[in-house]
Amino acid sequence: MIKTRHMGKYRGRDVVQATLKSTSGVEVDIMNYGVVVRDWRVPAAEGLRSVVLGFESFDPYPAQRAYLGAIVGRVVNRIAGSRFELAGQTYALVSNREGLHLHGGPEGLSSQVWDMEIDNVRNQLLFSLQSTDGAMGYPGNVRFEAKYHLEGNRLCLEMAATTDRPTPISLAQHNYFNLGTGADVLDHSVRISADHYTVLDDRLFPTGEIVPVVDTAMDLRAARILREADGTAIDYDLNYVLDPKRDVAKSVARVEGPDGKLALELWTDRPGLQFYNAVTTDIDVPGLAGKAYGKYSGFCLEDQMLPDALNHPGFPSIICTPEHPYTHWCEIEIKQV
């Protein structure tokens, strides 16, 4: 039986956590607020090890803007100028700060209490949310759905959305991982199977250029740690462009913890993968087990459509319609090496 726990209230609605457990001993706590993965515990040599960043209670979540463990959208990542054009009409979005709309805006999907259904037979959780026309400036009434299923060491996520009119949709899971026991992730070994990435300007907005990773610190096709040879940290906050002709049965990323005990692999059907090693993260609230979450405290692998696609016609379209709804799947496995 999937156990639940009352975590608090948000805007008059109950915040509930459900815990998925598998026969391999993995435990994943997921809240109906933002579909947040609050904790994820994996068997290691010393016992269960927490492998994500989160908080012990619900209270810190609404005030934080790090999107710890949440599903983000309606459109993940940055939209330059907080506006876009669709069918000859300009839509002004609610900005996170001047000129920037990030992760669906300040009251995006990650800040909502979703409906949750428990499926004990399949060991899965089903979440749904109705987003009304005009939410954060987006057109269309949209029904969002997310399903988390745990099987062995693999957590599977399926997302879907249906709309009553054309509207942009691009979602992502925003888990922060730390497979080790230290305060930072710089000695994790990371491989990302991508030959190209999207170039950013000095405001971190995509320029529209897609360039090769070869001969740059962005080249993670062969596994490497997140430091230069002299020990200097390398900052990563960019989108990798995945091969559209790849075999999706093969993982696009593999990360091994610094002590060599745990490894993560990720599979996805998306064309992009944002890799972020908490370059600007500085959370003033203690995290799980009282840990401090500062710079480089975790890494994100956000599988998604290409960022700022609304402003770059050369990028794959993120416009969904009643005839062409949104679907997206992602699988993450964390196990002992």
What are the catalytic residues? 174, 302
- In the numeric block, which tokens belong to residue 221? 């096709």
Whether residue 133 contacts residue 139, with contact meaning beta carbons closer than 8 Å, is answered with: yes
Distance separating alpha carbons of residues 146 and 137, to the nearest angstrom = 22
Cβ partners under 8 Å of residue 329, min gap 6: 156, 157, 158, 159, 268, 269
Cα 295–chain centre separation: 18
Rounded to a whole number of angstroms, the distance between the first and last alpha carbons of the chain is 29
Alpha-carbon span 319 to 83, nearest angstrom: 14
Farthest-apart Cα atoms in the chain, separation: 59
Q: How far apart are CA 93 and CA 101, in angstroms?
A: 7
- Report in angstroms the alpha-carbon separations of 162 from 128, 159, 292, 321: 11, 11, 39, 8
For residue 11, give both structure tokens.
């805007």
- Plot region of 77 (φ>0 → left; ψ -120 to 50 → alpha; else → beta): left
- Give the Cα separation of 71 and 87 in Å (integer): 28
Instruction: Give the residues across from 85 on adjacent strands.
Output: 90
Q: What residue spans of 146-235 are helical by DSSP H?
A: none
Q: Are 334 and 152 in contact (CB under 8 A)?
A: no
Name the DSSP class of 269.
S
Q: Which are the contacts of 98, defined by CB distance < 8 A and separation ≥ 6?
A: none
Q: In whole angstroms, give the CA distance from residue 119 to residue 58.
A: 23
